[in-house]
Amino acid sequence: MRKKIVAGNWKMNLDYQSGLSLFSEIINMAKDEVIGNQELVVCSPFIHLSSLGQLSKNVANVNIGAQNIHQAESGAYTGEISASQVKSVGASHVILGHSERRAYFGETDALLASKVDIALKHDLTPIFCIGETREERESGAFFDVIKTQLTDGLFHLSKEAFASVVLAYEPVWAIGTGLTASPEQAQEVHKFIREVLADQYGQEIADNTSILYGGSCNPGNAKDLFAQADIDGGLIGGASLKSRDFIDIAKVFNG
Ligand SMILES: O=C(CO)COP(=O)(O)O
C-alpha cells in the first residue's frame, strides 16, 4: 500500500511567531484527530524550520519540509540554503519543481534534476511538482508536458533512488485560483503519470509511488479528489494556513 500524504506548502507567508502558533495548533489537532496511517508534512519558510523541527520531534505523524534548496553541497552562494542545512534542523522533505519556482525563478528541468540528486544524497524526500499551464491544458499538450517534466527532472535516477520520490500533480491553472481540477480530470492525469512510471521503472515502483494532487484543494473538495484510485493525498497551499482546514483535509484518510 502506498503512503497517503497531506503536505502543506506555506509559501512566503507567516512571520516567525504566527508560523509557530499555526504549527502548534496543527500538531495538537493531529495528535487528537488524525488516526489513520496518513502522513502530514508542513513545508514552511526556512526561518521556521528549526523551531518546527523541535516542536515535532516526538510527533510520529507530522513531518516538516523545506520549499527549496540549492543544488550545491555548500559554498559561496550568498542567500542560499543547502540540503544538509535543512536536514540538520529536522526536515525530512523538500518541495522541488513547484511551478512558482519554475516560472518566477527560472528553474529548469536540468537544474531540478541536480536539486533532486542533492536532496536524495542528504536523505530528504523530494516532493517533485509537475503540471501544465492553462494554455497547455487547452491545447491538449498537457500529457506531453508532464511526461517531459518527469523524464528530464527525474528519470536519470536509478530505480532504487526513484523509490524515495513523492510526486505532486499541480495544474498551474488551479493554483491559488479557486479553480480545482475535477476529480476526473485529476485522476486522468494521475493515472497517466503512473503509466509513465511503469514504463520507466516497472509496475511495482509505479504502484508504490505516492502521487499528490495540488491546486485549490480544500476541505470541501478533498474527499472526492482523494477517493480517486491514483490520488494519494494533497499538496495544499492556501488551506494549509488554517489549522482547521489542513487537519480536516488530512482527516479524509482517517477511514
Ligand atoms: O501551489 C500549491 C501547493 O503547492 C497549491 O496552492 P493552493 O492550494 O493555494 O491553490
Digit-coded pLDDT (tens) for 213-244: 999 999 999 999 999 999 999 999 999 999 99
pLDDT at 208: 98
pLDDT at 62: 97
Q: If you measure from the C-alpha of residue 229 to the centroid of ligand 1, how many angstroms do you get, rounded to a whole number?
A: 21
Query: Is residue 255 predicted with pLDDT exceeding 90?
Result: no
pLDDT band at 69 (very low <50, low <70, confident <90, very high): very high
CA distance 62 to 55: 10
Digit-coded pLDDT (tens) for 181-210: 899 999 999 999 999 999 999 999 999 999
CA distance 65 to 44: 7
pLDDT at 178: 82
Query: Is residue 1 predicted with pLDDT exceeding 90?
Result: no
Spatial contact of 7 and 41, defined as CB atoms under 8 Å apart: yes
CA distance 148 to 188: 17
Q: How does DSSP assign 109-137, residue by residue?
A: HHHHHHHHHHHHHTTPEEEEEE---HHHH
Digit-coded pLDDT (tens) for 86-117: 999 999 999 999 999 999 999 999 999 999 99
Domains, in order of start, for the chain: 3-250 (3.20.20.70)
Spatial contact of 193 and 146, defined as CB atoms under 8 Å apart: yes
In the residue annotation, 98 being an active-site residue is answered as yes
| Sign of the four-CA dihedral 20, 26, 29, 30 | negative
Kindly state the average pLDDT of the residues 12-27. Answer: 98
**Which residue among the candidates 98, 122, 132, 136 is catalytic per the annotation?**
98
Whether 220 has a binding-site annotation, put simply, is: no
Digit-coded pLDDT (tens) for 139-190: 999 999 999 999 999 999 999 999 999 999 999 999 988 888 899 999 999 9
Q: If you measure from the C-alpha of residue 216 to the centroid of ligand 1, how many angstroms do you get, rounded to a whole number?
A: 6
Q: If you measure from the C-alpha of residue 168 to the centroid of ligand 1, how many angstroms do you get, rounded to a whole number?
A: 11
Digit-coded pLDDT (tens) for 24-56: 999 999 999 999 999 999 999 999 999 999 999
Whether ipTM tops 0.90, in short, is yes
Residue indicated by cell numbers 500538531: 27
Which of 216, 221, 225, 245 best tests ligand 1's pocket when mutated (most atoms within 8 Å of CB)?
A: 216
